[in-house]
Amino acid sequence: MQPSTGVNDDLYARALVLSDGRQRIAIITLDYLGFDFAYTETLLAAASKASGIPANCIMLNCSHTHSAPLTAPWGPWKEHRGKPYHKLLPERIAEVVLRATKQLQTAQLRYRREPTQVGFNRRFFNGEKIVMAPNPQGAVLPWVDVLSVERPDGKPIAVLFSHAAHPVIVHEASTLISADYPGFAVQSLKHARDKDTVFLFAQGCCGNINGFPLKGGIDAAAAAGRDLGQAVERALDRMEGENASKSLRVHSSELRLPLQNPPSAKECRSMMEKEKAVDRRQRFAELLAIAESGQTPTMRMPIRAFAIGDLCVLGMAHEPFAEYHRHVNEICPFAQNMVLGYTNGLECYVGTKKDYQLGDQGGYETSPRGAAFMFESRLPLAENCEALIQRALCQTMDALGHNR
């Protein structure tokens, strides 16, 4: 992690507001890494107050670009709290959502899933443990979901598109601020289509997928964004028919997922004594406090879903693995679905049972001393969380389906 030395391309907040005359919903996309729950609630409250849309009818999705200011509760997060942009963002988001609300107009909706792939599964087993390297056999989501909101004459007002790949193509190859490939995809679409159309990128379930090439630099990110933009263009050109229903429905739930048990107090003290780095000693001290408390720690997991006619847009918090979107594909009763990660909060990775069962060999995303130790929870999710989340996703689909 390095301080920025300038701006290569601007970061944006964009909002799509839909209404069926009875229900209003908002999807807000931001070129940011992600936010903890406390700050997410501040942003949702600001958007709700400005627009009059209830907070439980708003999705706040971050692209997760790694070339933006640190806003997630990871690593040196405490040093970055209270920066000027933290005070600025609620005001800007309120302005964007209010502007979208004031510009409501009659529209028709069309959707298409178009094949494309920006990245690779990044969890490769080298015979001993999981390392971060391209895994050709690993789960990916090789498509882009595209929702076009159009005037009666067919001209797009807004286009929401989602793909699943970590925006880490610029990451560490440049110290310039950048929205990475999602931002370049939007730029290419505005150049090729219509600068007045609002193009919104929403990040999918990319917890185990990296944009390719990792740390390839700004030119490589621009090329990946161009390719993604061209896939969106193909989807727009090939769309047929119209969304069968104009109705909007909302369902929200929140799980309390168990975390893994901490090491024993004795083990924590031993690790503290051996550790020389001050920041890691502090993390071990926090693990010790958890161990001595005797409490089973948990993690919040909000799930929010919008039924937009025959399309289900489902948003999950944190960094879910690709397998969760594949699970929704299997159980979804709707004709189409769009599944988003990094929505309404980011405080951990969400792997699968088999990933957590690898323990210390589980790699950065799921091992006890990997990302979990860097996040403020200090512990990864428990093995049974996959089953709990799958059950909640099924219940969400049932709730929306029954309200048809």
Q: What are the boundaries of each domain within the chain?
A: 6-251+300-349, 262-295
Distance (Å, whole) CA 239 – CA 367: 43
Residue 26 CA, distance from chain mean position? 16
Residue in 220, 187, 41, 196 with CA at minimum distance from that of residue 105 = 196
* Predicted structure pTM score: 0.96
One pLDDT digit (tens) per residue for the chain, 404 residues: 678 889 999 999 999 999 999 999 999 999 999 999 999 999 999 999 999 999 999 999 999 999 998 888 888 777 777 777 788 999 999 999 999 999 999 999 999 999 999 999 999 999 999 999 999 999 999 999 999 999 999 999 999 999 999 999 999 989 999 999 999 999 999 999 988 999 999 999 999 999 999 999 999 999 999 999 999 999 999 998 777 667 899 999 999 999 999 999 999 999 998 988 888 899 999 999 999 998 889 999 999 999 998 999 999 999 999 999 999 999 999 999 999 999 999 999 999 999 999 999 999 999 999 999 999 999 999 999 999 999 999 999 999 875 54
DSSP string covering 148-168: EEE-TTS-EEEEEEEE--B--
Pairing of strands 176-177, 198-203: unpaired
